[in-house]
Structure 1
Amino acid sequence: MLPAQSLLIVVPTLNSHPLLPRLLASLQQQTWPHWQLLFIDGPSGVQHRQWLQRCCAAEPRCRWVEQDPAEPGIFGAMNQGFAAAGPADWLLFWGSDDWAASPTVLAAALAALEQPEVASGTAPPEPLPDLLVCSGRYVAADGQLSRPTAFRPTAFWPTAFRPFAGSHSQARLDAAAYRRALWLGSTPPHQATLVGPGARRHLARYAPGFRLSADLDYFLQLSRHRDLQVRCLDLELVHMAAGGISGQQTQRRLQEVRRAYRRAFGGLWWFPFLARYLRRLLSLLEATR
């Protein structure tokens, strides 16, 4: 029997094979076994390519392709992932240094997308969302967990979510509420956000010109679609290694974040820009208490 949902996990790689066994093992331990893993490899060396070949030969749920030179950079590789997805696939974009937070996280995430059978004469179930947003957590080199990163209400906007009846773990945002959340500086973490077929019908690739913040721009551009539906799940889906390249290019990231907000909000870009970094400052202050 085929699973109700299919999940394609896309991982751009470049000579990162020492990190990949942890990612792969975290998926092979999942209680929900129907995932597919696609490595999109840049111009890596022989040792890395040999690892990919051995991995894909041993694990039938894995495959790899070379990155198209016409799609450079990490987000170019991720655009190939968009193109590789089937019409019913859910997409999850991870880095080589990401891994599943526990063996049950995929089962919990995909269970949130199951639609129960409806008896004759009863109201239809809620339609599937376009995005399923979970949370992630950064892990330092010493194994210390940081505060989780998530798209969830804060002191800026405590009424952002409308919980489902009888549930304390799921909530939904319509298009207007989603855009207000972005306006107030909140952003879904792409490593913990499942991109559904509905979102890809609206927008099926990252914009060019962004090396570090194409994911922010993608979520902002999605907010222009008035029929967008976002479901939020109180689930720590992924662990991410702290200290990636984006953290080492602060000036470029600030420029790209400003550009993304300007594309979404025009001359009022400065408000969500300041709100984003004020939120981060408050989060850091709270973490030190």
Structure 2
Amino acid sequence: MTKDLQLPPGAAPDWTIPQDWDAYTPTEHATWDRLFARQGEMLRGRVVQAFIEGLDLLRMTRPGIPDFSELNVRLMAATGWQVVAVPGLVPDEMFFDHLSKRRFVAGRFIRKPEELDYLKEPDIFHDVFGHVPLLAHPVFADYMQAYGEGGLRAAKLGMIEELARLYWYTVEFGLIQEEDALKIYGAGIVSSYGESIFALDDPSPNRIGFDLERVMRTRYRIDDYQQAYFVIDSFEDLLAQTRDADFGPLYARLRGRPAIEVADVMPADRVLTGGTQAYARTKTSA
């Protein structure tokens, strides 16, 4: 929850700042290129095809970190979205407002070379490499806008925490069924080398068919690989379930029910993989 953040010096009232592309160092550009090459190669066969197609947007006329001014020309032409730079986390309602207007907020800093595999705060590689390719997909682009509109309503009803779980388990850590195989689409997975392998191959996590109410009741981890992933059938189905849902009665039900812990399997779950939770237990006992 980020509602109590203070507007940083130099930021506009909507929390945006100039990207200042010319200020990036050769080392920072080289870090982007290294991450892009490594992750782009290992994701083939593991990530949803729409993501691979969207990667073409990020191949700029200049090497290194994408210049948002060039990127936005391409993205606007594809789906009407654009990327705007922000100094870090933004308040919840400002985040939702940007999404509702087809603006994706991205941090402008990039991780250090010694931090390639782990970063506490999302950087430009996570935000742009992880999120932008699917913003070129018309249906997923519509889902993101609908999520922003729903977030503005949730803020008025005091249901941001529940809606945040939907974002976490779809936009950040979602899996999808494609051509009889599980594929990755969540940005938190695709921008992480380790989790790109763990999410599909490791026997530890549960992999459960997507159910809107179930997802919005489920806690999540922010400090390590997920103990559960939710699997959608298609972006079209995800959009239909969320855009056409009457969230008023859903929120009423959620208010009266306890949250589900990250590793729990419920009787009504459509379990694709019943995880061993061995990885999480190892980390707990360490």
TM-score by length of 2: 0.29
More helix by share: 2
Pick 1 or 2: higher relative contact order, CA cutoff 8 A, min separation 6.
Answer: 1
More strand by share: 1
